[in-house]
Amino acid sequence: MNNKGDTKMRMLIVEDDPIAQKVMFKYLSPHGDCDIAVDGEEAIRAFRLAQTDQRPYDLILMDIMMPKVNGREALLQIREMEKNLGVMGSSEVKVIMTTALADPKTVVDSYYRSGATSYLVKPVEREKLLDELRNLKLIS
């Protein structure tokens, strides 16, 4: 699923909790280049810059409950940008929503309506996370 041949897989972790950032970064770094955004606003900016650089992200891990712009809102905007850029189908960025909200309504709402690819409930365990990456054919 790498985009421009030689480059490593690019991932963006969107997470306001510093410990969770660190854990996710450690889990994912062996599998590619990982950026960290601390809120939805940064996520949108990072996504846009990656597009401008012609090095789009392959995967975004998006927390739902965050300050400024929440994960769902950020995802909606990212999907909107993709639409504007004509990015569609399998070249759309894969987005895994991560949430400590065990409320399925919130999760399902984000999962289906805002175009998330899947979701994980926190605490995110490494094997579950990597399974999800394998499901999405991002790693083998």
Contacts to another protein by CB under 8 A: 17, 19-27, 34-37, 42, 44-46, 48-49, 51-52, 65, 77, 81, 83-86, 88-89, 100-106, 108, 121-126
Q: How far is the CB of 17 from another protein (least distance, A)?
A: 6
Residue in the structure block whose two tokens are 């606003």: 41
* Residue 127: CA count within 13 A, CB half-sphere: 0
As a whole number of angstroms, the distance between CA 140 and CA 130 comes to 10
Q: How far is the CB of 140 from another protein (least distance, A)?
A: 20
Q: How far is the CB of 38 from another protein (least distance, A)?
A: 8
Q: How far is the CB of 110 from another protein (least distance, A)?
A: 14
131 SS3 class: helix
List helix spans (H) across 53-125: 71-85, 104-108
Q: State how far Cα 18 lies from the chain centre.
A: 16
Closer residue to another protein, CB minimum distance, 59 or 124: 124
Closer residue to another protein, CB minimum distance, 42 or 58: 42
